[in-house]
Chains A and B, each alone.
Chain A
Amino acid sequence: MKKTSKLITLAIGACSFMMGCSDSNPTNVAQPADTPTSPNFNAFSCQEVTDATVAAQLESAKASIKDVLEELGDNNLKNAQTISAQTKSTFKSVLDKYPANCEAQLGYALSIITDLMNNTKIKSFIDTVTNKTNLADMGVEDFNKLLIAGDGKHLTTMGQEALAAAIPSLDSAIIYLKNIVGDDNFVCHYDLENRKLELDRGEFAPALATMFVAKAVLTFGASLNIDISSNGKYDWMADADEYDGDTKRFADHIISLMDKGSSFTTVYDNWKTRYRDIPNLLDSAIQFVEVGLQYGIDESKKGIQTQLNDPYIVGDDEMADVSAKDFQKAIDSLEQYRKALHSGVEITLPAGSKVTVNIAKFFEITDGWQDYLPYHKTNDYSVWNIPAEGFYWAPQLWGGDTYAEFEINKAVRAQIEKNGKLDYFYGDLYTRGYSAGTAEYCADTEINNDYMYQCFDVKATNCTVTFTPTDNYYHGSDDISILKTLAPVTLNSSVCKIQDGVQVFAIPYDEYIPNAFYFTDPAGNKTISIQGLLNGKVSDESITKAIETNRKAKFYNYTLDEMQNFIFFPDITVGGVFPGMTQEKFWQIFKTESRSSGIDW
């Protein structure tokens, strides 16, 4: 893995493991979206339209709904939006006169959903994202410009406001659809692409279920504090992009986000009630899916004649899509999932491990997920690039993600940067076949949008690396003198030293890993650093042999059995999401499922 992605992956990925203490206190607290006011009204059982004018109005709107469905089928969201905006008002006027007319209710509910894109906040968010995407396409790399709107609002805040804005519309649609699902005699007929389509409870109920799921997703998205800015700015992301995350500002911010006291991933106070209600929304969704499936089962008992124009036919016959037994099996499984939303239900993983899950408990975690990360302590940025574990000393100046290569790149980059805007930089050390302390080094750069590369013969003497340019270069018509005259680089004593008169370098067993944090046991005693864990293990004999034969020592990953002695969780049940889970059970399940998935541990 290249250092670029390695460091960022580690830094962001490490977030999921870090729980260290930091004294940085975020000053810019993100503003939550206002909680929406849900509409409260009743829809009545289906009612016929008797007025001829209104009936004509309804028919014309129904024809438009057919167009909306066709446009949606062809993924033409914009066209669907335009048509639905027109038809929404027609359906509304029919509903004003016949509030219990189910066709108008259905049409109106559908229009509400397709018309969501016309909501001011949603539209504004989409437009802003589109503009920002265009900016990014034009090469703008300033994250403050990309993630903050013109009025100073963060994109994350705008997004959450848009999500919140969609909820009342969804609530209205849910009320109408609930009414429609409540009437098992109500059916709708459409002609779509030479096909007669009959929609009944079998379709309306799953549609209603998706609305509950959508509401749950919107609520989840609007509830969580996802503000990753640092004091309202995104400069730390520029560090991640330009310096592969190798800056103090980046390191400090990642640590602060993962701090137990950080507001990142906490639930906004005004959204806590709604957030805790998400399991009930999911419960409703499952129930309505079951209602739809049960309707199919009931219909199948009458034969297939009443289902001929349904999107699917339930029955045992070959002229049916799915059997009633299959639907019954699905209902039984769904009941299991529904129970898991409120109390612990045992589920079986692919390799046969059994885990008890209580999803409701997950939505009771409102103070951030950092509390459940394994015990660990973070290191100050000043030691991140110092090899502490998982390396050996050897006279060969190995490349390929080593600490020496990292230091050389850092120093060379700093030299070149003095001469112009560096759009891209990466250097590689090639050492295979070279004698101890020597190598070929090639620097790839893009300076002021001009790409060029230059290779050098390098030689380290007393831990100082000198560069002699070779004929291996490319510069087009650009001046390459910046690259040709690299000043010597003295390597840090943690990376290179003189041992018994011989110059030796710190060689990672596998590759460069920043010494960002270490795991501890519950008492706070260090077990292993992330640097040591990811570099695995190498035997002393292997190191001796590698040095003798001028090869890299072969390393082995730690096994899960070994890892369970390094990593401990403060609450392995994750607040009761996995009741009854223990450290031993966790590692056993991990082992069983990893073996099944073919992951070599």
Chain B
Amino acid sequence: MRNTKKISLVIGLAANLSFAVSYSGLADCGGLFLLHLSDKQFSAKSCSIKDSLTVDNYKVYGSFEHFAIQGRYTDKWSIKGLNRQNIASAGFEGNYKYISFDVNVSSHPFVKATLSAHPKDSLFKVNASFAGGAIDMGNMRWIPDQKTEMVGTISVDWVSHVFYGKLSAEYNIRAHHINLSGTYLKTSPHNPDKEYYVRDSAGALIISANYGHDFSNSHLDAGYTFANANVSLYGIYHSDESRKRFMYMPLDATLHSLYTKWEREQVHAHLEYFHMAGRLSSNPNRFFETLAPNRALPASVIKSLSFSFLQKTFRVDADLSTTAFLGGGSYRWNLGKRYVFTPTAGLDFFGIKGDLDIDKRTETTRFATVNTYKEKTFRELSAIGTILSLECEIRKKGPVSLALVYGVSQIIPFYIDYKDQNSNKGVNAGDGTGPSQQHGSGPQSGTQSDKDKAGSLEGGLSDLLFRNGFATHLGISVMF
């Protein structure tokens, strides 16, 4: 939950950094360092090189991208997630009088084809895209604290087999620009020849509508996006001909997003709002437990005996709801002539409120005895703050144009209120900082271990967010 909220802040950060410019040759690196705590860690970094060559109506382009996203959560064990990939892709684009097409192949492997129909004056345009392929979603490892524990390190790979289709229509008349699009995505389950893996079965629908208006010396954009996704994740242990399901997570998520932005020469202003609701549902049926660790054990006498002497299953219901807004502006200076020096300063205000409600049911079966233990956890986070962004671009004009851009962003929280309420351990409250006072309420947690488990976020939550909510990026572009 906390991470989810932070990720949403990061989306804001990323949006703030995306002063998109289209180059024929571009090298770009960025990094996000959101969390680095003793028990939680999240960071992401990426580098890409893109190049293109345009001859008459044809364009050939290629790119190479490297990215690494990693996260870690430590309790009495650790879960480490890592997605590190090198992706090469190449595409071919053709633009004709009434039709354009674009074919892109990447090394996932993934293929995407887009066909556009438009009149000569491009007043009206219809696009149809189809894509399919396998996307590596990364690796997750469960690592026990002690080497001697019964369950050793379990490494689970996740590859999603995706197909999607998108239809969009654009209408441009005088100063008005209207864009409507609908995307349908589905994944089909596959059973790879691996010992542990995640199999998914998903369907998603994304509908968006955008309106743009050109004023005499400014431009206004506004849009709305609705997305709904249903994903079922299955954790499978595979040995010889046998496949055993040790995890089942049916997830449902809905997103509503609204934005508006206005640009005038050196000034840029925007306001965004989004609301996301997600749900993980438990299923009372056998083999649909959220987690059944006995089935994930490698073959051994202990595993065989465990089904008689100690079987544990976990069923989890979780509800997540997050509402956030981000609004602010930036100003860009254009200095110099041959060498253009363009510093940009941006200041955004954000507000976020989210809660996560978890009901966990643990069933322990020993021979013919069944013990059920229920636990409820409620976590709530509210935060207000700013994101300060500074970016600078140096561009050399001429037949060969060269540009260097470097930007940094930092979250500066004003107020954070965090509550962690467990039906078995009371409430943990975080600190309220800045102009507001502490808003945490209820009894404090009873034991030190509770406090530790509730996260190192407590006691200086704002400081930690400030120290960790940092993003940076560096780009170089060349244009002939």
A192→B368 contact, CB < 8 A: yes
- Chain A residue nearest in CB terms to B241: A316
A350 to B299, CA, bound (A): 16
Chain A, interface residues (CB within 8 Å), range: 35 or more
Query: A311: which B residues are within 8 A, CB to CB?
Result: 307-308, 311, 365, 367-368
Q: Give the contacting residue for A322; candidates B147, B304, B365, B371; CB below 8 A.
A: B304
- Is A390 engaged at the interface, CB distance under 8 Å to the other chain? no
- Is B240 engaged at the interface, CB distance under 8 Å to the other chain? yes
A333→B370 contact, CB < 8 A: no
Q: Given contacts A312-B311, A333-B301, is CB(A320)–CB(B244) below 8 Å?
A: yes
CB-defined interface of A308-322 with B at 8 Å, one 1/0 digit per residue? 000110011111111
The residues in B between 289 and 303 inclusive whose CB is less than 8 angstroms from any CB of A are 292, 294-295, 299-301, 303
- Is A267 engaged at the interface, CB distance under 8 Å to the other chain? no
Query: B148: which A residues are within 8 A, CB to CB?
Result: 350
CB-defined interface of B346-369 with A at 8 Å, one 1/0 digit per residue? 000000000000000000111111
- Is A57 engaged at the interface, CB distance under 8 Å to the other chain? no
Q: Give the contacting residue for B368; candidates A203, A316, A319, A321; CB below 8 A.
A: A203
Query: B301: which A residues are within 8 A, CB to CB?
Result: 330, 333-334, 337
Query: A75: which B residues are within 8 A, CB to CB?
Result: 371
A193→B370 contact, CB < 8 A: yes
The residues in B between 192 and 246 inclusive whose CB is less than 8 angstroms from any CB of A are 236, 239-245
- Is A572 engaged at the interface, CB distance under 8 Å to the other chain? no
Q: Given contacts A206-B305, A323-B240, A334-B301, is CB(A195)–CB(B295) below 8 Å?
A: no
The residues in A between 173 and 214 inclusive whose CB is less than 8 angstroms from any CB of B are 190, 192-193, 195, 197, 199, 202-203, 206-207, 210
- Is B101 engaged at the interface, CB distance under 8 Å to the other chain? no
A326→B242 contact, CB < 8 A: yes
B369→A322 contact, CB < 8 A: no
Centre residue among B148, B292, B295, B369 by max chain A CB count within 10 A:
B369
A319→B242 contact, CB < 8 A: no
- Chain B residue nearest in CB terms to A596: B147
The residues in B between 270 and 314 inclusive whose CB is less than 8 angstroms from any CB of A are 286-287, 292, 294-295, 299-301, 303-305, 307-309, 311
A366 to chain B, nearest CB (A): 29
B308→A326 contact, CB < 8 A: no
User: Interface segment, A66-74, A428-436, A508-516?
Assistant: A66-74
The residues in A between 289 and 333 inclusive whose CB is less than 8 angstroms from any CB of B are 289, 292-293, 311-312, 315-323, 325-327, 329-330, 333
- Is B372 engaged at the interface, CB distance under 8 Å to the other chain? yes
A334 to B304, CA, bound (A): 11
A190 to B364, CA, bound (A): 17
B241→A326 contact, CB < 8 A: no
A140 to chain B, nearest CB (A): 29
A566 to chain B, nearest CB (A): 29
B370→A192 contact, CB < 8 A: yes
A334 to B299, CA, bound (A): 13
Query: A193: which B residues are within 8 A, CB to CB?
Result: 370, 372
Q: Give the contacting residue for B240; candidates A70, A202, A325; CB below 8 A.
A: A325
Query: A70: which B residues are within 8 A, CB to CB?
Result: 369-370
- Chain B residue nearest in CB terms to A205: B308
Query: B369: which A residues are within 8 A, CB to CB?
Result: 69-70, 72-73, 192
Question: Which 10 pairs of residues, A with B, have the shortest CB-CB distance?
Answer: A323-B242, A330-B304, A73-B369, A312-B307, A206-B308, A326-B299, A316-B242, A73-B371, A72-B369, A330-B301
Query: With contacts A206-B367, A321-B294, A321-B307 known, what are 14 further pairs, Cβ within 8 A?
Result: A70-B370, A73-B366, A73-B370, A190-B368, A192-B370, A197-B368, A206-B308, A311-B368, A315-B242, A320-B242, A321-B244, A323-B239, A323-B242, A326-B299
Q: List 8 A-B contacts (CB under 8 A).
A: A316-B241, A316-B242, A318-B244, A320-B242, A323-B241, A325-B239, A329-B300, A330-B299
- B: residues with CB less than 8 A from A are 147-148, 236, 239-245, 286-287, 292, 294-295, 299-301, 303-305, 307-309, 311, 364-372
